[in-house]
């Protein structure tokens, strides 16, 4: 019986093979899993170092090799989605015959829990920095040429930087460069909307980066599943301050790719009018797409604010969080300062929403 168990675990593990022509090296990974897609394949090829990580649910398969010969930076990939076969195609710098693929690293050809695989970072170039509000900026980072990485909707990355001799790491959630929908990501640029705190350790350092400087960006992480949106009819997004960031790709995905979504409502909590991120774009989107609605709620409004005010509360939630039909399927996503998210989840449960209907974005 033990033997049977061992062999079935073996059967689940992907395997790989490689072959060459005069000019190309092709590495083929057989994931033995259907429904593979480009979001699940992360490739980094710099100099002679090749690293390919395949994400399979909560597991990760790694191909990591110090290649025998130099390859060019433009790495190509092919995914046969239905059969789960992935090809990584490298261009030889010199058209010589390779005797070996190279020297495998310690983690090469392992299939382990994602949480046991350390984060991998690559250096990305800061290509632009634009103002969003008085304290928030949109940073555009460019992935190196030999990197294939897409950050799935609802996931974040970690930025790493050395500050006063110490490595500091903080999570950030990629957004799109703007809201009006149908934006197709190019796979090269990563946009981050980051609030600069006047005494913030990391954000002060980020703010001091110059265009052309480099910063390390990790592989994506996060437990949000797109499938949660794919079955919902009413999408309710509760955001506090920069807790807005995961909502950007989520809205884009829901309104462009999910046909069952009937309504999408963003309830956006901020301190003052000046703090509202992308207010104009959100209002434009509401005019353009009748399924979308936005409600701004301020906790420290000026005297002339005629809109809603207050902090997250049972009464505000019962006013704005509603099903469009009595039996409609809802998904409520919430993100913001930890106390905001914690209170919000509790109030939603008190209002009768189930655990499955709520997704809280947390660390
Ligand atoms: P810190 O040095 O940690 O301090 C931040 C501010 O809070 C400073 O003004 C500081 O004085 C004050 N402060 C620190 N500790 C306390 C305390 N205990 N009580 C009161 N005040 C305190 N941020 C974004 O801007 N955009 C994003 O897309 C984004 N995504 C995130 C995704 C995840 C999963 C998580 C967990 C966080 C995300 N954040 C995001 C927050 C981000 O990771 C950092 O926490 C933030 O940028 C502040 O970092 P810092 O080092 O500059 O600030
Ligand atoms: P902020 O201080 O400007 O507050 C925005 C609004 O949140 C306030 O107007 C208020 O309505 C509400 N709020 C703030 N503190 C509250 C409290 N103690 N109780 C109830 N409501 C409260 O927010 P900010 O400076 O933009 O901070 C955004 C937060 O979101 C950060 O803590 C950041 O770490 C977090 N964040 C988390 C993720 C994630 O976990 N995936 C992603 C992005 C941002």
287 Cα: distance to centroid of ligand 1 (angstroms): 33
Two domains, one topology: 2-116 and 121-218: no
The Cα–Cα gap between 62 and 43 comes to: 10
Reading the block at residue 213, the tokens are 């400087």
For ligand 2, whether the C-beta of 270 sits within 6 Å is: yes
Report the residue among 154, 223, 336 best suited for mutation to probe ligand 2: largest number of ligand atoms under 8 A from its CB. Answer: 336
Instruction: Say which CATH topology domain 2-116 has.
Output: Immunoglobulin-like (2.60.40)
Alpha-carbon dihedral sign for residues 321, 132, 221, 50: positive
Determine the atom of ligand 2 nearest the C-alpha atom of 222: 41
Q: Whose CA is nearest to atom 29 of ligand 2?
A: 337
For ligand 2, whether the C-beta of 361 sits within 6 Å is: yes
Q: Whose CA is nearest to atom 32 of ligand 1?
A: 172
Distances in whole angstroms, Cα of residue 7 to Cα of each of 1, 4, 12, 63, 163 = 10, 5, 9, 21, 48
For ligand 2, whether the C-beta of 362 sits within 6 Å is: yes
202 Cα: distance to centroid of ligand 1 (angstroms): 8
The Cβ-side half-sphere exposure at 326, using a 13 Å CA radius, reads 0
Q: Whose CA is nearest to atom 31 of ligand 2?
A: 337
Scored b (16 or more CB within 10 A) or e, 326-342 reads eeebbbbbbbbeeebbe
Q: Whose CA is nearest to atom 7 of ligand 1?
A: 200
The Cα–Cα gap between 170 and 185 comes to: 23
Neighbours of 8 (CB within 10 A): 9
Q: Report pLDDT for 5.
A: 47
Q: Report pLDDT for 8.
A: 54
201 Cα: distance to centroid of ligand 1 (angstroms): 9
Instruction: Dump the DSSP string for 288-341.
Output: H-TTEEEEEEESS--TT--SEESSS-HHHHHHH---SSTT--EEEEEESSHHHH
- Residue identified by tokens 């009006």 is 180
- Contact between 194 and 139 under an 8 Å Cβ cutoff? The reply is yes
Scored b (16 or more CB within 10 A) or e, 148-182 reads bbbbbbbbbbbbbbeeeeeeeebebbbbbeebebe
334 Cα: distance to centroid of ligand 1 (angstroms): 17
Determine the atom of ligand 1 nearest the C-alpha atom of 170: 43
By three-state DSSP, how is residue 282 classified? helix
Domain segments of the chain as ranges: 2-116, 121-218, 227-360
Helix (H) or strand (E) holding 172: strand 166-172
For ligand 2, whether the C-beta of 340 sits within 6 Å is: yes
115 Cα: distance to centroid of ligand 2 (angstroms): 26
The Cα–Cα gap between 16 and 30 comes to: 6
Backbone φ, ψ for residue 39 (5° rounding): -65, -20
41 Cα: distance to centroid of ligand 1 (angstroms): 29
Domain 227-360 grouped into CATH 3.40.50.80: yes
The Cα–Cα gap between 191 and 173 comes to: 9
Q: Report pLDDT for 4.
A: 45
Instruction: Dump the DSSP string for 54-106.
Output: EEETTEEEEEEEEESS-B-S--EEEEETTTTEEEEEEEBSS----S-SEEE-T
Please state the CATH superfamily assignment of the domain spanning residues 121-218 in this structure.
Translation factors (2.40.30.10)
Reading the block at residue 203, the tokens are 């954000």
The Cα–Cα gap between 230 and 227 comes to: 5
For ligand 2, whether the C-beta of 344 sits within 6 Å is: no
Report the residue among 218, 242, 248, 249 best suited for mutation to probe ligand 1: largest number of ligand atoms under 8 A from its CB. Answer: 242
* Per-residue pLDDT of the chain in tens (363 residues, 90 and over written 9): 344 444 455 568 999 999 999 999 999 999 988 888 888 999 999 989 999 999 998 899 999 999 999 999 889 888 887 888 999 999 999 999 999 999 999 999 999 999 999 999 999 999 999 999 999 999 999 999 999 999 999 999 999 999 999 999 999 999 999 987 777 788 899 999 999 999 999 999 999 999 999 999 999 999 999 999 999 999 999 999 999 999 999 999 999 999 999 999 999 999 999 999 999 999 999 999 999 999 999 999 999 999 999 999 999 999 999 999 999 999 999 999 999 999 999 999 999 999 999 999 998
The Cβ-side half-sphere exposure at 229, using a 13 Å CA radius, reads 24
Q: What is the CA radius of gyration of the chain?
A: 23
Q: Report pLDDT for 318.
A: 94
Q: Report pLDDT for 77.
A: 85
Ligand 1 first shell, C-beta below 6 A = 156, 170-173, 192-195, 197, 199-203, 242, 245, 363
């Amino acid at each position: 019986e033990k033997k049977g168990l061992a062999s079935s675990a073996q059967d689940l593990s992907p395997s790989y093979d490689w072959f060459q022509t005069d000019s190309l090296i092709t590495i083929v990974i057989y994931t033995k899993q259907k429904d593979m897609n480009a979001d699940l394949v992360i490739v980094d090829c710099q100099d002679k170092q090749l690293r390919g990580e395949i994400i399979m649910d909560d597991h990760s398969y790694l191909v990591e090799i110090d290649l025998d010969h130099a390859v060019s930076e433009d790495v190509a990939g092919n995914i046969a989605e239905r059969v789960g076969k992935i090809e990584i195609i490298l261009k030889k710098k010199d058209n010589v015959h390779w005797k070996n693929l190279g020297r495998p690293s310690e983690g090469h050809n392992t299939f382990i829990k994602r949480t046991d695989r350390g984060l991998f970072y690559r250096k990305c170039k800061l290509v632009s920095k634009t103002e969003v509000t008085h304290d928030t900026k949109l940073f555009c980072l460019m992935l190196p040429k030999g990197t294939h990485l897409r950050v799935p909707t609802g996931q974040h990355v970690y930025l790493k930087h050395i500050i006063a001799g110490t490595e500091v790491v903080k999570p950030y959630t990629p957004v799109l460069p703007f809201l009006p929908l149908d934006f197709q990501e190019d796979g090269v640029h990563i946009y981050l909307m980051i609030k600069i705190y006047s005494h913030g350790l990391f954000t002060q350092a980020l703010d001091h980066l110059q265009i052309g400087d480099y910063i390390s960006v990790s592989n994506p992480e996060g437990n949000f599943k797109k499938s949660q949106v794919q079955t919902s009819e009413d999408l309710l997004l509760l955001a506090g301050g920069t807790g807005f960031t995961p909502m950007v790709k989520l809205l884009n995905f829901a309104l462009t790719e999910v046909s069952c979504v009937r309504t999408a409502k963003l309830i956006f909590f901020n301190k003052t009018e000046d703090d509202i991120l992308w207010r104009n774009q959100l209002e434009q989107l509401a005019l353009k797409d009748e399924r979308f609605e936005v409600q701004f709620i301020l906790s420290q409004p000026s005297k002339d604010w005629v809109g809603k005010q207050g902090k997250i509360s049972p009464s505000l939630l019962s006013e704005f969080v509603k099903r469009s039909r009595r039996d409609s399927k809802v998904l409520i996503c919430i993100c913001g300062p930890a106390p905001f998210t914690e209170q919000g989840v509790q109030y939603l449960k008190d209002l009768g929403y189930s655990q499955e209907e709520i997704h809280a974005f947390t660390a």
